[in-house]
Structure 1
Amino acid sequence: MDHRRGSAEVTVVGPDGAPLANADVTVEQTRHAFTFGNIGFDFIPLANAEAAASAPPSAFGAAAVEGLAELSDLWLDLFNTATLPFYWRGFEPEEGAPDTERLLRTARWFADRGVSVKGHPLTWHTLAPEWLVDRPIDEIEQLQRGRIQREVSNFAGVIDTWDAINEVVIMPVFTAEKNGITRLAHSIGRIPMVRLAFEEARNANPSATLILNDFDLSSAYECLIEGVLEAGIQIDAIGLQTHMHQGYWGEEKMLAMVDRFARYGLPLHLTETTLLSGHLMPPEIVDLNDYQIPAWPSTPDGEARQADEIERHYRSLVGHPAVQAITYWGLTDDGAWLGAPGGLVRADGSPKPSYDALKALIKGEWWLPRTALRTDADGKLELSGFFGEYAVSAHGHTANVTLTAASTNTEARLV
């Protein structure tokens, strides 16, 4: 984990501008530099003060409105980045009537609580609008370009990270349902689809972080990435989905996969991760969506297994220098994707052992709690810890400092 940690000499400066010599100060971490994320779908009604009866349904399910305040406390105590849903069919069910204000209020709700926000996704064949299906190809392309421009522009400054395009490998040959985006991808090809998504998003917000995301982690995705890079398309990170409904892959398989994609020299985002605390999906199932059953309970044995796997999974990935982000796909079993018991919190709102195991890493082993230190005669102290943000306090005044790999000397000016 040495690549995640550092030290810096911090000069603590008082409100009068003079170094605070031989002074007792406290230092505590306030945020990780590493992205520990989860979806924020559940909290859209909470952020918009919606009652249960008035909350529109989510395309991918969501927890019941009751109890969301308590659930949000668990969420905010563990994660620093929220993914919000921009599935086009649900976001704009009627042409020209996007759900902009509701999602914008939700994004600001998270931002006000110190959480970074990511949008998912700007381009995807699944859950494309039904009103798009039979439009002419040229019109579909223009509507898709306009949709990207609109969302990235409207949310700039609140959401500056996007899955620009999702699941391109299967996009032009997708057959599960008829949709306009597959027709467009089949017509113009995969790489032009990627160019369309990234260039429109980049033009709308030049400072945005744009991710190419896929569940197909085979050589087909590697070929796509190589073609995209050879075409001169700028991608900021490679997204890797790891829904492990059929069982934890194990460190060896997971890290071998990560190494394959790390060779492109781009940050890797584990964008969608799930590990189950109930029985595993049968191994013969090819498409996870094909296994949806009336009840899929969490079990004591499953919860113990999930806790062990969560710790191993996060420890191994945070230990890999190419990995920049891990987003877990759901906090609670209530309304979970495919009804699977993949949450870190039971449907009744109580944390599972996996929640405690992950918290013991993120806010325990990898976290600097409130610590008493003392400056020297020159007002200096040494700050050591995981890269991230820290608060330095003395005599009722506080300064915020950031610890990075480049940090050697920095100043904490108390205000």
Structure 2
Amino acid sequence: MTSLFTPPAPGRTPDPNLAHRRAQVTVTLTRDDGAPLAGRDVTARQTSQSFGFGCIGFELLDHITGESQDPDYDAGLAEHWLGVFNRATLPFYWGMFEPERGRPRTERLLAGARWFVERGIEVKGHPLVWHTVTAPWLLDLEVDEIERVQRDRIRRDVSEFAGLIDTWDAINEVVIMPVFTAEDNGITRLAHERGRIEMMRLAFDEARAANPDATLLLNDFDMSTAYECLIEGALEAGIRIDRLGLQSHMHQGAWGEDRTLEVLDRFSRFGIPIHFTENTILSGDLMPSHIRDLNDWQVDHWPTSEEGEARQAEELEQHYRTLYSHPSVESITYWGLPDRGMWLGAPGGLLRPDGSPKPAYHRLKRLVTEDWRTPEATLRTDDDGRLQFEGFLGRHELTVGGATALLDVDAPGEVTAEVVVG
């Protein structure tokens, strides 16, 4: 066995040795006629990772569709994006996607989804049901009609994007949905009438009917027991939740390892894989701790700083290492690459307003492309055409002479495979 790592440790608790992210692979290489490729040098290189390292793709849409007002900046943004991430989240906020009833902006997001998929990036749609940034024209409808058009909207969009987008935040922030008071909206009216459980049933049932193969998330920012109770209620009602989405917009300070593990301990008990769907860590002044709703903190200028960038880099690396070490977590999405256009104007991006990378960007890139990727190596097959190596889960490219074959390593532990190199 060619060992590139420290020995794995068993268990379901956080594992610094990352045994749950790696496999010990024995692969036999043969020619088309079945004869083993004995005594041959083979270059093994990982080309993709099973774990989801995500970021929103909102800021790239103008670049993708040729509508950029700053082509050089946007081209640089795309280059930095593709240099780290393998999962993209695209915006399906109903009020932006279909501001005028019956005229959804489907083509723009289809173009965005195709661009990412063509580059090997898996895409998620966010969200199908939410009470914020929702269609204003819903306010003109009665509750029964709101429900009907919400159901139609889910089926339409999930069907039209199937094959490009097969992962969705089915419903977002249900804990607060029926009691949301910041603004009147049709979805809160519907949730108040139907209740949280039936809103979840609506979202998951309609999305699954439109695409039975879709991966559907329940997503929320509320990490209290209220969210746990909501999950319990949904499961008891027979609603199938494929993934749990947990948000962590850390505008008031990074969670740190202890709080992150405490949250993971509580939510991993459901046995549902966890996606940390919305992560933000600031590189400037923190929001005051007395602010309860992050949207209530509005400032004219919120700059990044040298001291803040150093802090952000340390906190981001600790956060990602903590999440990656936990076997319940299968994806992490950072909520915005550049400071320009960041939610609330916060300095939470990994790039400065001029597009230059902050230290946190370099830290994350090193983790994703070096620390958590199988190092490229040249190995030699034995007399039976076998070679062994230990690597991270994902797709690997095996090159012998001028021929190349692909090997998908999908499960941790010991993996045995046979690969034909034509």
**TM-score, normalised via structure 1 length:** 0.95
Q: Which moved more, 1:23-32 or 1:402-411?
A: 402-411
Question: Alignment identity in percent?
Answer: 59
Aligned residue runs from structure 1 range 162-241, under 5 A:
162-241=168-247
Report if the CA contact (8 A) 1:145-1:196 is conserved: yes
Structure 2 residue 293 is matched with structure 1 residue 287: yes
- CA shift, 1:412, in A, is 2.6
Number of the residue aligned with 1:59: none
1:395 and 2:401 equivalent?
Answer: yes
The question of 1:330 aligning with 2:336 is answered: yes
1:145 aligns with 2:151: yes
Runs of 4+ in structure 1 deviating by more than 4 angstroms, as ranges, are none
| Alignment CA distance shift 1:393-1:85 (3 Å) | same
1:11 Cα deviation after fit? 1.3
**Quick one: which of 91, 101, 105 aligns to 1:95?**
101
Distance 1:74 1:16 in 2: 44
Q: How many Å separate the matches in 1 of 2:43 and 2:165?
A: 33
Q: Which residue does 1:7 correspond to in 2?
A: 24
CA–CA distance in structure 1, aligned partners of residues 389 and 111 of structure 2: 37
Count residues in correspondence. 404
The reply to whether residue 411 of structure 1 matches residue 402 of structure 2 is no
Identify the match of residue 67 of structure 2 among 31, 50, 56.
50
CA distance in 1, matches of 2:338, 2:68: 19
Output the CA distance in 2 between the equivalents of 1:219 and 1:229: 15
Matched residue SS, 1:67: helix
Residue matched to 2:281: 275
SS at match of 1:149: helix
Partner secondary structure for residue 192 of structure 1: helix
Aligned AA (1:408)? V
Partner of 1:37: 54
Q: What is the CA-CA distance between 1:404 and the residue it aligns to? A: 2.4
> Which residue, out of 63, 80, 87, partners 2:86?
80
1:7–1:403 Cα contact (<8 Å) kept: no
For structure 1, the residue ranges without an aligned partner over 5 or more in a row are 53-63
Q: 1:24 aligns to what?
A: 41
Q: What do residues 50-76 of structure 1 show as CA deviations (whole Å, max 9, x unaligned)? A: 242xxxxxxxxxxx5542112111111
Aligned AA (2:22): R
1:14 Cα shift? 3.4
1:293-337 deviation digits (Å, cap 9, x = unpaired) = 111111111010000011100001100111111100011111111
Alignment of 1:234-273 (within 5 A): 234-273=240-279
Check if 1:160 corresponds to 2:177: no
Q: Which of residues 302, 308, 313 in structure 1 aligns to 2:308?
A: 302
1:291 deviates by: 1.1
Deviates more, 1:277-286 or 1:402-411: 402-411
Gap change, CA 1:347 and 1:17, over 3 Å in 2: farther
How many angstroms does 1:18 deviate by? Answer: 2.8
Report the alpha carbon displacement of residue 346 of structure 1 after superposing the two structures with TM: 1.1
Match of 1:109 in 2: 115
Q: 1:291 to 1:178 in 2, by over 3 A?
A: same
- Equivalent-residue separation in structure 2 for 1:394 and 1:121 (angstroms): 45
Q: Distance in 2 between matches of 1:342 and 1:11?
A: 47
Match of 1:357 in 2: 363
Contact 2:25 2:391 in 1 (8 A): no
Could you tell me how far apart the structure 2 residues matched to 1:65 and 1:215 are? 34
Distance 2:249 2:104 in 1: 29
Gaps of 5+ in 2: 1-17
Is the Cα contact below 8 Å between 2:314 and 2:360 reproduced in 1?
yes
Please give the TM-score of this superposition, normalised by the length of structure 2. Answer: 0.94
Cα distance in 1 for residues equivalent to 2:56 and 2:393: 23
- Tell me: CA distance 1:51–1:270, structure 2 relative to 1, closer, same or farther (3 Å): closer
Contact 1:392 1:412 in 2 (8 A): no
Contact 1:331 1:343 in 2 (8 A): yes
- SS of the equivalent of 1:187 reads helix
Q: Deviations over 1:86-140 (max 9, x none)?
A: 0000000110110111101100100000100000000000011111113000100
Other structure's SS at 1:239 match: strand
Q: Which residue of 1 aligns with 2:11?
A: none
Aligned to 2:128: 122
The 5-angstrom pairing of residues 64-75 of structure 1 reads 65-75=71-81
Other structure's SS at 1:109 match: helix
How many angstroms does 1:368 deviate by? 1.8
Q: Name the SS of the counterpart of 2:25 in structure 1.
A: strand
